[in-house]
Structure 1
């Protein structure tokens, strides 16, 4: 019961004791170990899992439409990153390969949110979605357990 309370997965307990996961679940249910407490605000807050530092650089490709917009309205940090980025030509358009912390990628996406608004064109909205998807994928890769 204590291992389950400490956060050990049911399948891990089943492997450890060489039984089916259903057996572990039945035992936990019989002991009332899987019931929620009366006060949900009293649940313990898990500590942040150890992971890579937040300022570790991540390399992502920024679509050219977003880069043009950020050169005009972005802050100085984003503009400096755009200057240092490597231009990659592909078909009619281009991308800029940026190596910067994930927080700056989020800031660049936030500053280009006008391109995802109602009045923006389809290509601008798609460029915004593509960059947002790349950021989300990079964030998932960095979080342990995925």
Structure 2
């Protein structure tokens, strides 16, 4: 065991010595190690102007002695993949998939709906649940909230009799919709 430990220690010492020799040789040639510098704060305006005038990222990196990544960071909002909508407006709502009880889906199919709401219901996937079903609906949260508002009569009123099973189904859907992130101000 001592022989193996001594051999391992010798190997580590040799690696350390070779590493230092390599660093000293690179330093003698004028190279320096470490992370490449970022674009200095004073020259960011020049870099952005040159990029807008048509200079390439690689040419700007060579001219300023920094990496291409540093140049990309300095001109990030000017790059083609960056759109003004991303910077100015809020992020668009992404579709959310919720399970809508079948009793709610059946009621909504007979109600007067907007074309977008009809399309959402038509694209829903029915999932069998015992004797009933659940409609798996994918829509943005705003459409889920509109659908929930349209099924308010299931709680009674509006000349419709209260059916406990429908009321329970509507409240179940309401709890799922209310768990979504709240809308803006």
For residues 93-132 of structure 1, the aligned pairs below 5 Å read: 93-118=132-157, 119-132=161-174
Which has the larger share of helix?
Answer: 2
Corresponding residue to 1:77 among 113, 116, 134? 116
Which structure is larger by alpha-carbon Rg, 1 or 2?
Answer: 2
Contact 1:59 1:98 (8 Å CA) reproduced: yes
Aligned length, in residue pairs: 91
Query: 1: CA distance between counterparts of 2:92 and 2:154?
Result: 27
* CA displacement at 1:110 relative to structure 2: 0.4
For residues 41-80 of structure 1, the aligned pairs below 5 Å read: 53=91, 55-75=93-113, 76-80=115-119
Contact 1:54 1:102 (8 Å CA) reproduced: no
Q: Could you say what secondary structure the match of 1:139 adopts?
A: coil
Please tell me the root mean square deviation across aligned C-alpha atoms, in Å. 2.0
Which has the larger share of strand?
Answer: 1
- Residue ranges of structure 1 left out of the alignment (5+ in a row): 1-51
Query: 1: CA distance between counterparts of 2:150 and 2:128?
Result: 23
Query: 2: CA distance between counterparts of 1:136 and 1:54?
Result: 19
Please report the TM-score for the alignment, with normalisation by the length of structure 1.
0.57
1:137 and 2:176 are equivalent in the alignment: no
Q: Deviations over 1:69-117 (max 9, x none)?
A: 1111141221111110111100111011111000000000001110012
Against the structure 1 CA distance between its residues 124 and 53, is the aligned structure 2 distance closer, same or farther, given a 3 Å change threshold?
Answer: farther
- Residue ranges of structure 2 left out of the alignment (5+ in a row): 1-89
Structure number with the bigger relative contact order (C-alpha 8 A, sep ≥ 6) is 1
Q: Could you say what secondary structure the match of 2:147 adopts?
A: helix
* CA displacement at 1:54 relative to structure 2: 5.1
